[in-house]
Copies of this chain bind each other. A is one copy, B any other.
Amino acid sequence: MRTLAPEGQLAVVDIGSVHTEAGAQVDEVQIAYRRWGEPAGDPHGSNNILLVEHALTGDTDAADWWSEAIGPGKALDTDQWCVICTNALGSCYGSTGPASAHPDADGTVWGSRFPAVSIRDMVQAEHRFLGELGFSRVHAVLGGSMGGARALEWTLLHPEQVDYALVIAVSARASAWQIGVQTAQITSITHDPAWQGGDYHGTGHSPDAGLAAARRLAHLTYRGEMEIDERFGTSAQTGENPLGPYRADGERFAVQSYLEHQGRKLTERFDAASYVTLTEALNRHDVGRGRGGLNKALASSTVPTMIVGVDTDILYPYHQQEHLSRNLGNLLAMSKLSSPVGHDAFLVEARQMDRVLRNFIALTHETPSAHDVAVTRGDYDI
> A residues within 8 Å of B by Cβ?
20, 22-24, 112, 115-116, 173-181, 183-184, 186-188, 190-191, 209, 213, 216-217, 219-220, 223, 225-226, 228-229, 231-234, 242-247, 249, 253-256, 259, 276-277, 280, 283-284, 286, 289, 314, 317, 319
Contact = CB atoms under 8 A, between A and B. Distances in A.
Given A176-B233, A225-B317, A228-B180, A24 B213 contact: no
A232 B176 contact: yes
A176 B231 contact: yes
30 contacts: A115-B245, A116-B243, A116-B245, A116-B246, A173-B233, A175-B228, A175-B233, A176-B231, A176-B234, A176-B253, A176-B255, A177-B220, A177-B255, A179-B255, A180-B220, A180-B228, A180-B255, A180-B256, A181-B220, A184-B213, A184-B216, A184-B217, A184-B220, A187-B249, A225-B314, A234-B286, A242-B284, A243-B284, A247-B276, A247-B277
A183 B256 CA distance: 7
B183 A225 contact: no
A244 B22 contact: yes
A191 to B, nearest CB: 8
Nearest to A181: B220
A277 B245 CA distance: 12
Contact of A244 (B116, B223, B319): B116
Contacts of A283: 242, 253
Nearest to A118: B243
Nearest to A219: B180
Contacts of A213: 184, 187-188
A179 B228 CA distance: 10
A219 to B, nearest CB: 8
Contact of A243 (B22, B183, B234, B253): B22
Given A175-B228, A190-B249, 10 more contacts: A22-B243, A22-B245, A115-B245, A116-B244, A174-B234, A177-B223, A178-B225, A179-B255, A181-B217, A184-B216
Contacts of A259: 180, 183
- Top 10 closest pairs, chain A to chain B, by CB: A177-B225, A24-B245, A176-B232, A176-B255, A22-B245, A175-B229, A176-B229, A176-B228, A116-B247, A23-B245
